[in-house]
Structures are given as structure tokens and as C-alpha cells.
Amino acid sequence: MKNYKNIFIMSSAILLTGTIAGTAWAFQEAPMLAEKVRAGELPPVEERLPENPTVVNALEVGQYGGTWSRAFKGPGDRWGPTKLMEERVIKWSQEPGGELKLVPGYIESYSVSEDSREFTFTLLKGLKWSDGHPVTTEDVEFWYNDVFMNRDLLASVDQTLAPGGKPMKLEVIDEQTFKVSFEDPYVYFLEILAKDSTGEPSLDRPSFIFPKHYLKQFNNKYASEAELKAAAEKFGVEKWQDLWGSKGAATAWWQNPELPVITAWKIEQPAPADVVTMVRNPYYYAVDQAGNQLPYIDRISHRLFSEQEAFNLMIVQGQIDMQMRYVEPQDFTFYKENEAKGEYQVNRWTQAQTWSLVPNLNTKDDVLRSLYETPDFRQALSIAIDREIVNDLVFSGLAEARQASPVTGSPNFDPDLETHWAEYDPDRANELLDGIGLTERDGDGYRLRPDGKRLSIVVEMQHANGPKTMEIIADNFKSIGVELLPRLIDRTQWDASRDNNEFQMQWFPFDRLSVVAADPRIMMGSDSYANQYYIWYSTKGASGIEPPADHPIREVFAKWDVAAKAATREEADAALTELINTFVTEGWVIGVVGEMPALSIVKNNVKNFREGLIEDDITRGVGLAKTQQMWIQQ
């Protein structure tokens, strides 16, 4: 083991160019792989790595070995494991305290045409799947022709990859290089790739590449009907199409250990085993600055739990090596108290979400809807909330009183938006409500609506921090004569209420506030304050509710149309900024507290954990920490 660790020899050339010339350098590998090489089960490391492997700068050159223990909640929770190892052509990267930027993933280079219509990618030369088979543009063609455009497999293409209903086109240039193009300019395509990728219909999306040599046996363009049937039978599914897709038996990496991948780890023992384990991919394409093939850690194991308290006990007993998912701010004190006993530290990132009251602009209650549509009413509700108290009492003072707007570190951050209508001023709120004619009150001091009923709003919630927060806000609202009626409901019901347009207001972690361009849907009302309007917009009027002609949300939609088709980055960014400004200044969503810490537990012997980054779905959660360079001191 000692031979492999702490190799501090570093060349300045490496740091400058970010690549290592394969011939000039001896690469090192994990002992468990070296053993296999000696036994003749694997080719030597030089032959497994690409010619110019990607260099992931480790915070500190580490040691090989160890098992990373984590906990998970069952198969529905696979995004925890997935985000540890997602690979993309383009990925987000962030230095502590810095802004997010895009960096190439498993490609050598990429370029974008001047009109933002054509995107060219060059795969790493010598890149290999986890079974040793080379990755070439053949795999790209397979993905495009036989999966993405295969209507037997995929009924239609997702909007994001087919703006205006016209799917992207593919052109293969040589074995390594391919070009995708769109009819109209699409400046945010790279942001979308970094977040959502393209691997439809599978939800685990390495973008553009599917292992043809393995998957063609399950594809109707290559396999006969009988073969497909046999394959379906082998995996215990009904139709060959079920082998594919988001939970496809064959294409889901966390279910099928045979599926070739390019990720740092691959599944070894899938669910429903008691402990789900992942093991290193011997062909992983990246090395650290000293030429050690990554990842450092041999295995990742996930233990099942179903109750938060059970997980918290695992943490304080030192059974969790490093985990961010399910580490809850409301248990912060408990974690801190047991740091020494459990031999770990609590670390903090920033969450790109703001806990918000989301009124339903499409609510079926006409009177309430017209109140929601009155800016003074929205402002009154917003400034009647004492956010500092909520922060202190519910979020252990770890969060920040703010509006639902882009967070610090986001390229869209704007300090003015952050504080818009976020200062506590109940007197002013009362004045505003008086000003819009809500002056009548009933015996309990609550205001009456224009139709004579008491002005009360039912707020639905399903998160643990809801009841405590609502107690405070209901008190705040009482002082302005508005009755808030909190309802704690089941998650399914909570979503159904929104799908069926049945709610008046919901308590919601309003997220995707890091890189808005990568996913502006929530800000445009989708699954949020104006779901029906968004459906109207996204279905081009086929369903949903049409917003009134002068409704400002039309401006939000219009700005996205401009941004999505803008010819230049500047033009697109300008439109996007206006979209965000309109959303925040209209105050449709009432942000309460945000930028709270995404806590993580890091055992003292787990090294190279990056601190102070942004936690968001867009940046792929903990994936932003470059998990392949983390290591465990033996």
C-alpha cells in the first residue's frame, strides 16, 4: 500500500496543460487492480486509460483503498448514489467561494459555432467502457439513431432537446468527433447538457453515448423479435421496451451490473440486497495530478434506512463516512454534539433554494385569485413575515432571511432581488391591505374578503419544518388580519393537489436558484405558483389555463422564448435577467428563508472533501465535490 500513496512528484507542465502525455508518464493504479493485472485478468493501466487522460486536480494526492459507507432510503433514492458518479460531456465546476463554470467531462474538447447552432465534441482518444470496449462515435450514432430517434422505443423527444419540436441533428465527423445542431440558435444547450444530459430514455444520462456493443442485443434495430423476447424474459419484464427507460432492467446502471459504464464506480451488488455496493471501474478515464488513476476509494456501500432518527443514529455512531443527502439542518445541534464521539465533522455548503410560501395564481377560488393578482396584497403578505424569527427558531439561525431569487455564487445573483419585499414591516402591510379596500373585519379581528367571508388561506405542507414555521407565520399574518390555516398532508396528496389545481397555497422549497438558464421551469410557474399557466404555455394552448391578456407572466414566457432562441450569449443573458427580474419583482412567490447550509457529515479520516460549494440539482448535488478524488486515510 505504501508504494502507492502520497506521490508528490508533480510537473508544472501538468498543471498548465491539464493533461499528461501517456508515453512520458508512468501511471499508478489501485492495489486491487494491480493484483488483477498481475493475475492477467486486466491489461496494464496504460492500456486502460485514454491516451491523454483527463486530469482531475485532487485537493491533495491521496491513498488508494477503503470502503465509503453511506445510507440510502431504497430504490427510489438512487439519485443519492447516482450523483456521486455522474459523467457528462460538460460538467459544472466550482472552486470554494467562486462562481460556477462549465468544464469538459469525458471529452477532449468542445466548440460552439458562432451562431450557437452547432456544437462539436471530441471524445477522449482511447476512452473505454468499464468492460474494456472502446468508446467511439459508433456509440454516439447508436444513441442517436437507435434510441433517441427510435419511435418504437421513445414516443417523442423531450422539449429541451427538441426546441420548437424539432429534434437536434447529429453528424459524425470521424471516430472521435461528432457535431450536433439545431435549427435555431440554442445558447443554453451546454447548461442543459450539464444538468439534464441527453440519455433518454434512461434517466441516467451519460449524454450522447450508449454502449452499442452491449445494448444492441436489446434493440429492435439489431435483435430479432425472438431475441428481444428472450432478453425480456431473462430480465423478468414483459416487453423489450421495458428493458430501457428510466427504470429499465437493462439500461439502469444501478440495477444491471453487466451494463458497461464510464463512471468512476459501477454497481456491484444492486438492490434489493441489504447493502447496495458499488466498486471501482478499472477503466475510469481520469487521473490525479500525479498520474494516479482515479478514483481512490475502492467501494461505496449503501445501507438501507427508512426513518430519519435511524439515520441520525448511524451518523453519531460513526457509521457514515461521508454523506450530504438526508443530513438535516434541524438536527444540526445533535450532529455537532456528537462530533467527537462519532469522529466526524459537520461541513457546510449552501443550498440553492429558498423555503417559500407559494400562492396558487390559478386557484379555483375566484376571490382569492383576484387578491393574489393584486401586487399590494402580495407585498403585504410578504413584508408581514418576520423572517429572522423563522430563521432563528426553525432553522437554528443557519439560514438567511431572503426572497426566492438566485443565490450567492450563481451567475444570476443580484443583491437587490434577494431583499425584494423581504424586510419585516407589519404596519406597512396593514396600510397596503387597507389601501386595497380590505377594511372590514370580523369579531376575531380578521379581515373580510370582498364577498364577506373571512380572509383565510389554507397552506399545505409536507415537510418536517412546516408546522413550526407556519406557527410563526400564522401569528404574523394574524397581526395583519389574515388567517393562515396550515395543513400537514401526505406527499402524494401534496403533489396531487398541485397537479389537479386544488391548493390555495403551499410551503415549498423553491429551488433551481443557482444557474437559472439550466432549468427555468419552476421560475416560469411549472409545478409551482402558476402550474396551469405554464401548462398552457408549454402545450401551446392545448391544455392548462390561458393567462389574461395583460398578465405579466406572459412577459416571463416571452423572455424565455427570446432567451432560448437568442443568437448570442449576451442577448440570451439579457432576456434571462429580465425574466428573473420580472419573476422576483412581481413577488408571485413569497420567499422566506434560504441559502441555508447543505450540511454534510465527513469522517475525520475522509480527505479531499471540498467545502463551501453550492448544493443544487442543477450542479448535481454532491457531484460538484468531484467525489472521485476523495480518499480515506487507511
Partner 1 sequence: MLGYIVRRLLWAIPTLAFVSFISFVIIQLPPGDFVTAYVAQLRSGGEYITELQESILREQYGLNDPLLVQYWRWISNIIFYGDFGRSLEWNAPVSDLIWERLGLTLILSSLSLVFTWMIAIPVGVYSATRQYSVFDYVFTVFGFLGKGIPDFLLALILMWTAFAWLNMDVGGLYSPRFEGQPWDFDKIVNMLSHIWIPLVVLATGGAAGLIRVMRANMLDELRKPYVETAYAQGFSERTVVWRYPVRVALNPFISTVGWALPALFSGDVITAVVLNLPTTGPLLLQALKMQDMYLAGSFILILSVFTVIGTVLSDILLALSDPRIRFS
List contacts with partner 1 (CB under 8 A): 69, 74-77, 79-80, 154-156, 158-159, 196, 201, 203, 236-239, 241-242, 245-247, 249, 252, 255, 269, 271-275, 277, 303-307, 309-310, 313-314, 316-317, 319, 490-496, 499-500, 511, 519, 521, 527, 616-617, 621
Q: Which is nearer to partner 1, 52 or 255 (CB)?
A: 255
Distance, in Å, from the CA atom of 312 to the CA atom of 332, rounded to the nearest integer, reads: 10
Q: Which is nearer to partner 1, 40 or 272 (CB)?
A: 272
Cβ 624 to partner 1 shortest distance, Å: 13
Distance, in Å, from the CA atom of 144 to the CA atom of 149, rounded to the nearest integer, reads: 6
Instruction: Indicate the pairing of strand 631-632 with strand 606-607.
Output: antiparallel
| Residue 71 DSSP symbol | E
Q: Which is nearer to partner 1, 230 or 275 (CB)?
A: 275
Q: Which is nearer to partner 1, 201 or 406 (CB)?
A: 201
Q: Which is nearer to partner 1, 79 or 222 (CB)?
A: 79
Distance, in Å, from the CA atom of 139 to the CA atom of 144, rounded to the nearest integer, reads: 9
Q: Which is nearer to partner 1, 73 or 449 (CB)?
A: 73
Cβ 104 to partner 1 shortest distance, Å: 24
Distance, in Å, from the CA atom of 507 to the CA atom of 420, rounded to the nearest integer, reads: 19
Query: What would the grid cell of residue 388 be?
Result: 429572522
Query: What would the grid cell of residue 593 be?
Result: 428563508
Q: Give 594: exposed, middle or buried? Use CB within 10 Å, 0-12, 13-18, 19+.
A: buried
Cβ 357 to partner 1 shortest distance, Å: 18
Collect contacts of 553-556 with beta carbons under 8 A, ≥24 apart. Answer: 553/361, 553/524, 553/525, 553/588, 555/582, 556/523, 556/524, 556/525, 556/582, 556/583
Write out the H or E segment, with its range, that includes residue 569: helix 569-586
For residues 124 and 108, is the Cβ–Cβ distance under 8 A? Answer: yes
Q: Which is nearer to partner 1, 327 or 384 (CB)?
A: 327
Cβ 313 to partner 1 shortest distance, Å: 5
Cβ 616 to partner 1 shortest distance, Å: 8
Residues in CB range of 544: below 8 A, 6 or more apart: 531, 532, 533, 534, 535, 536, 537, 538
Cβ 268 to partner 1 shortest distance, Å: 11
* Of the candidates 505, 438, 497, 502, the residue with the CA atom closest to the CA atom of residue 470: 505
Distance, in Å, from the CA atom of 473 to the CA atom of 375, rounded to the nearest integer, reads: 20
Cβ 310 to partner 1 shortest distance, Å: 4
Q: Which is nearer to partner 1, 110 or 235 (CB)?
A: 235
- The CA angle 492-496-502, to the nearest 5 degrees, is 135
For 182, 321, 422, 552, the CA distances from 378, given in Å and listed in that order, are: 40, 45, 12, 14
Cβ 502 to partner 1 shortest distance, Å: 10
Q: Which is nearer to partner 1, 339 or 617 (CB)?
A: 617
Q: Where do the DSSP E strands lie in 215-285? A: 265-269, 275-280
Residues in CB range of 62: below 8 A, 6 or more apart: 5, 288, 292, 296, 607, 608, 629, 630, 631
Q: Which is nearer to partner 1, 158 or 571 (CB)?
A: 158
Cβ 496 to partner 1 shortest distance, Å: 4
Q: Which is nearer to partner 1, 59 or 154 (CB)?
A: 154
Q: Which is nearer to partner 1, 220 or 319 (CB)?
A: 319
Distance, in Å, from the CA atom of 303 to the CA atom of 318, rounded to the nearest integer, reads: 13
Q: Return the CA Rg of the chain.
A: 26
**Residue 469, SS3?**
helix
Q: Which residue has the cell 456501500?
A: 301
Give the number of other Cβ atoms within 10 Å of residue 539's Cβ: 10
Q: What is the DSSP string of 310-342?
A: HHHHHHHTT--SEE-TT--GGGHHHHHHTHHHH
Instruction: Indicate the pairing of strand 400-401 with strand 90-94.
Output: unpaired
Q: Which is nearer to partner 1, 203 or 472 (CB)?
A: 203
Cβ 497 to partner 1 shortest distance, Å: 9
Cβ 418 to partner 1 shortest distance, Å: 22
Cβ 225 to partner 1 shortest distance, Å: 19
Cβ 499 to partner 1 shortest distance, Å: 8
Distance, in Å, from the CA atom of 625 to the CA atom of 615, rounded to the nearest integer, reads: 10
Query: What are residue 94's DSSP bridge partners?
Result: 100
Cβ 271 to partner 1 shortest distance, Å: 6
Cβ 412 to partner 1 shortest distance, Å: 18
Q: Which is nearer to partner 1, 430 or 526 (CB)?
A: 526
Q: Which is nearer to partner 1, 61 or 399 (CB)?
A: 399
* Of the candidates 364, 320, 366, the residue with the CA atom closest to the CA atom of residue 346: 320
Q: Which is nearer to partner 1, 40 or 76 (CB)?
A: 76
Cβ 205 to partner 1 shortest distance, Å: 11
Query: What would the grid cell of residue 409 be?
Result: 455564487
- The CA angle 611-616-620, to the nearest 5 degrees, is 85
